[in-house]
């Protein structure tokens, strides 16, 4: 059996509209890039809505979405494909990129800098005007249909000398910069996502902003919108605000005893 033929793209459609609040003109920019067959790079801090945005755009554009969470052990074969033994026969199994190209899907490589550089170079022919995927083991060259879109993401705040996005990669993409939303938008997100009351949402947003001011001064990152949603969910479920803040936010941000105490004092002052 050839896995490329049994792949069911309908399983990768986003059926329900994901809740997403635009913080700028990112929707219009992505649509323009998609129409003109340009690859897209999403960059911004963790938990600010990059993945939710891609899901929303896949729903909006009515295209299947294939997501790959990149890591150190990700190989080029994971993306392109490999030969496997099946029922005594040797069969070719498409990787995530090949499936996305064949079916005109949006392929989202999340946290691209976590993958090895010898793996990420396979996206280069897809991310320029060639729009092809070489299948060296098959001696085949896959041409991208107009519907195919390549999107990647990374968090510049976590870059290091060993894990930075090479210029030869990043200069192939249209870059969309993401950040945490304004206080008003973040408050709306919390209320819509969790049903928390507006007064408590205001306090959570203020607490998040306090922790973000500590970035580079004891914290690698401040509280993300994702963490605020987690915290608000616990509070709505009946957990005391201080306990919810400590579990969903403070303990996830740091293990340093002094910073735990400092962030805990911030939450105590509010709640």
**pLDDT tens digits for range 122-155:** 999 999 999 999 999 999 999 999 999 999 999 9
pLDDT at 3: 45
- C-beta pairs of 244-249 under 8 Å, 24+ apart in sequence: 245/204, 245/207, 245/271, 249/207, 249/208, 249/211, 249/223
Residues 9-34 as b/e (b if ≥16 CB within 10 A, e otherwise) read beebebeeeeebbebeebeeebeebb
pLDDT at 8: 82
Residue identified by tokens 């550089």 is 117
Return the SS3 of 94. strand
Which ranges of the chain have pLDDT less than 50?
A: 1-5, 161
């Amino acid at each position: 059996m050839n896995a490329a033929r049994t792949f069911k793209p309908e399983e990768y459609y986003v059926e329900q509209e994901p809740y997403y609040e635009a913080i700028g003109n990112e929707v219009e920019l992505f649509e323009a890039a998609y129409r003109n067959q340009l690859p897209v790079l999403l960059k911004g801090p963790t938990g600010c809505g990059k993945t939710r945005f891609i899901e929303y755009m896949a729903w909006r554009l009515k295209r299947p979405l294939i997501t790959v969470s990149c890591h150190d052990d990700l190989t080029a074969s994971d993306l392109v494909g490999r030969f496997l033994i099946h029922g005594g026969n040797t069969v070719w199994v498409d990787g995530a990129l090949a499936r996305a190209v064949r079916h005109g899907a949006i392929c989202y490589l999340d946290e691209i800098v976590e993958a090895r550089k010898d793996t990420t170079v396979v996206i280069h022919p897809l991310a320029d005007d060639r729009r092809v995927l070489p299948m060296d083991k098959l001696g085949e060259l896959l041409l991208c249909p107009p519907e195919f879109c390549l999107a990647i993401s990374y968090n510049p705040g976590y870059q290091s000398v060993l894990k930075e996005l090479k210029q030869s990669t990043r200069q192939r993409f249209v870059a969309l910069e993401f950040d945490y939303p304004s206080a008003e938008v973040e408050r709306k997100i919390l209320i819509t996502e969790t049903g928390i009351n507006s007064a408590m949402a205001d306090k959570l947003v203020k607490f998040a902003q306090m922790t973000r001011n500590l970035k580079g001064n004891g914290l690698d990152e401040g509280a993300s919108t994702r963490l605020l949603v987690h915290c608000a969910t616990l509070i709505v479920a009946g957990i005391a605000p201080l306990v919810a803040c400590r579990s969903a936010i403070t303990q996830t941000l740091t293990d340093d005893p002094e910073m735990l105490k400092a962030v805990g004092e911030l939450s105590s002052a509010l709640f």
